[in-house]
A and B are shown apart, each in its own frame.
Chain A
Amino acid sequence: MAAILAPALVCSLALFPSRPSAQLAGFLFLFAVALAAYLGGFPAGLLATALSTVGLDVLFTPPRDEFVPDSSDQVAGVLLFFVVGVLISQLFGHRRTVQRQAEAATARANRLQAVTARLAGALTPQQVLDAIVTQGVEAAEARAGAIGLLSADGENVEIVAARGYEHGTLAGWESFPLAADTPMGAAIRDQEPFFFSTTAERMQRFPALVGLPERSHGLAILPLVVEGKAIGAIAFTFNEEVQFDPERRALKTTLAQQAAQALDRVRLYQAERALRQRMTFLADASELLGTTLDYETTLTQLTRLAVPEMATWCTVDMVGPDGSIRRLALAHEDPEQAAWAERLAEEYPPDPDAPMGVPNVIRTMTAEFVPEITDELLVEAAQGDERLIEIVHELGLRSAITVPLVARGRSLGALSLIRDESSPRYTELDLDLASELARRAASAVDNAILYREAERRGDAARALAHVDDGVVLLAEDGNVVSINPAAARILSVDVSALVGSQALEAIPGWSAVENARSARAPVTVPLVVADGSERWVSVSGVEFADGVVYALRDVSEERLLERARSDFVATASHELRTPLAAVLGAVKTLRRADVNLDPQQREALMHMIDTEAERLSGIVSQILLAGQLDAGRLVTADERFDPVELTRSVVGSAELHLPNGIELRVQADTDMPQVAGDPNQLRQVLSNLLDNAIKYSPQGGDVELRLNRNGQFVSIEVVDCGLGIPQDEHERIFEKFYRLDPALTRGVNGTGLGLYISKELVERMRGRISVRSEPGRGSTFVVEVPLAV
């Protein structure tokens, strides 16, 4: 336009009456050419030059209004003008092009800058993608755009953002395999851009995409490369067929680079933020775990901490001592859901043998990570329970992590994190976090358990230190875990040297204990303990998870008593049998119908019945007396009496049935004081002592009774020259049922109650009884009776 208008304007000057000269017109034309070239470029300048040349020649060069120049000078002038015009056109036309290019470059730069600015403000992947596509589409002068990123496993391309496409265009393309023959896939794989000017061109290269009902248009696909690695691709779709000149290609490439970097930066930022969030969570959780030893509360709080940042649901299940699985805590964003889930858990108690889920994790101590909960997985987990499948479907579970709580090789429980469809899927990082959290939680729980155990043990140990029963705890391998003081006393061992050593090696006599354990009820066994003595110990052993606990009771005393009692029964039985045999035998003989006994025999038998029945009666009374003494029912009189008179009376009675070779003597001062007590009981005591003196003098000899005043007492000594009593028996002979000669082989009969009864009676009179004796040199029993006041 300028090429025609500018020369025409100059030509119009010819209409004026005073036409400018050819020189002036020539200059004006050249100016017009320059203008045209400047505005319209070189072609416009050339057109203007041609027009100007004709105008100059016809209108201003004489002869005017004629094309044919008058002279060769004029021809030369017109030609010169033309040449100059062409030169000016070229000059101004080029200038214009340069300027235009500069302006375009500035515009592009501005647009790129705008993209960069928006990218800088983007914090989430979504914002970045929006920024790139919105601004990027404008920058690329494209109609629509999309960004596809490689999935974490590098297998798929996922369209994470798109802009400008008509609804439904991308349906079915949200995610597709990298290996598929698609422009994006190829661009990522080869890190090479594709530029297709027409749809036909694209179809030729990617026959798989033939048939999309669209107008032919240009398409640019560029890989997103960060540090030499393709992370995805960006696609630009144009409205019409496009020629991609190098400049355009370069622009697209730059845009793709910026996008890649921005995506990478956001990814890093996201990762860093997620990491920080995780670290914060972990730190909070750790702090929480460290606050108290009440791990039930702690774990419950922990599940609340995990929701909603880390999980939609968070549960902790613990293994009970019996191996059962118990839900300790459950947290959910929505309390109603939580309550419902608890009911669900009650309805579906965990099967310890379940092939997956919490029981499996607890059993195998291995984490379960399900990044994507698929329908197939749900059906499998529900094991055919239609209602459960429906319920789980409604929950909209998306992703789950279950990690075991393991401490010191023991499975304590499991921590589960579950996200529903409103949250992103779990990644390996989440699994790591959950594992770390589980490790810390398990450690805290274990510490709490250990502490409780230690406290309980402490209590138990304090209690055990004070019981009389011995308690020994052995580990499964037979090592001593603990032993209480009573056990050490019974076994006559040193506690400190024992713990940790093998019981069989460290405790003499332990094998007997172990052998006794097999029986269900406590078993009493003789043990030769460390100091060489024999003890009777009642042993019971109970196995438990970590070993065997033995309870030991020293029953040596009981056994001695029991043996004495048993001896007494035998003795009493024997003592009763002999006179009974006499009485019964005599009666049976007297009643014989087949023979006639002579009167002398009859009389002897009658006397036998008399004396032996009396003997029986005496034994029975003695047993009764002992029983009365035991029960404290015997009444002791407190009378004044003459001890000498009483002694002589006892001796007088004894002399009536004195065996051969025994002589009795009484030796007393003349003026003995009176004593206080029960004269009948003292008579019984002296009678007992005298009988003993006679019994234990089988070879005969003198038995002397000596009375002396001894301070506030009168002492009555019964002295024999018989068998005597060993020193170590001096105390025990006064014990109930004790007999000097338990084998009953020396023909000395007795119930083993005589001295016991004597001692009891004397002491009831506030007196004393003692013995001096040596084997083979006789015995002296001393009874001291208090003086009467």
Chain B
Amino acid sequence: MSPNLLPRELNGAGISKALSALNRHMQLYGYELLELPIIDDADLFLIKAGDQIINHMFTFDRHNKQLALRPEFTASATHHYVQKKLVSVARWQFAGSIFEDRLNGYEQLGIGAELIGLSGTLADSEIIAMSAKGLDAIGIPNWSISIGHMGLIKELLVQFNLDARTQQYLLHNVSALHDQNKGKQWLLDQFDKQNIKSGDSLPTRISYSDQIATMGGRTYDEIMQRVELKKRRIADRENFLAAVELVEKWSQFIGSPETILHLLSQNIPSDNVAALDIINKWREVVALLDAHGIPSSKIVINPSLVRSWEYYTGLVFELYVGELHIGGGGRYDELGRLIGSKQDVPAVGFAYYGDKLLSVLPVSYFEANAVLTVICNDVNMLTCAKWANLIRFYGFAVQIAVSNVEHSKNTNSAIIEDNDTLRYGDETFNFSQIDQLIDRLNTSVFSK
């Protein structure tokens, strides 16, 4: 079966209402709408996306270049910031289509915001608060937030002295520990697979006769350095195992801020100042969220939380409505440098999964607005058009119909009569009585 191009429910009015409510909500925090390209260099998104994202990225080749339909906004927004050489703080919000190459549909609705150029807990808490309270703004009150921290796990892994690639491998695969089909053994198997030969069986040098062979863009030194690295990884397997066990232990710590933050500080060695500092900052974020009107009862602390995009470097969070994972975000200070800036660019952002968001919107978003039908005949069409124009000026939806008995009986309709008057129910109004008509409509089923 061919994928649907627009799998989401095509209720334009409902979507538009929700988007404008969110737009207004984020404007209250100073976030301006930014339009970004739909098609971009695929490499921009490949820089730090996780496997889950990349495997479903919508890519295509044009003029010997691999392009992609945007799968999200963050990389494009950061690219825009870096390319324009901006130095001031940017608060941007986005709404529009994002794309995934999946059998059940290509196009999704993405809504989100980025705060670029500002570091610290104030920025982190602003993004989290704005994303959560945005749900309130569109009438979805039963949300909760799960918060983790990429920096904390990295700090805890320092003691195992793993090489950068092995540490990266472990961090990218933390979710395997929660996966019934994978687990710790899978992580170890993959590690072993990557370092498949025993150190002894790998040669320590390449013979001269081999050195006339096809090199494939690598030098002898590069090959031998990697041979050494593989040998070291095999020797360090015990350290890797200890690191996996630590991450596994920490992934059990999930719960309220009061309980878990206390537990975390107790489990961190007192000389690990950096990790303890992260916990203190975390407490600060929770306190700031409270000040933003988000009680700690809405917050779950989950130190092993990782997200599909690998660019996150600090605090990460996910939004839930009941059990439904409806959005998330976090801090990604390194992405700017990877995209072309000379140094890290402090940045934090979030996105709602638009289609999931729409699935929990209150029914009222999808109810059609009442429309007043003004009925005329061949003779008084001009008068009718004037009345319609005047009533619309006061914010009421009006449609014009030619004389029809059915319409005239309807309570949602008004009829044009002699002397340019309009009859609504039992009352008749002339143009000078527009205020009385509006008062009357305000007490009726019509809403602006």
Note whether A and B form a binding pair.
no
Chain A residues close to B by CB (< 8 Å): none
Chain B residues close to A by CB (< 8 Å): none
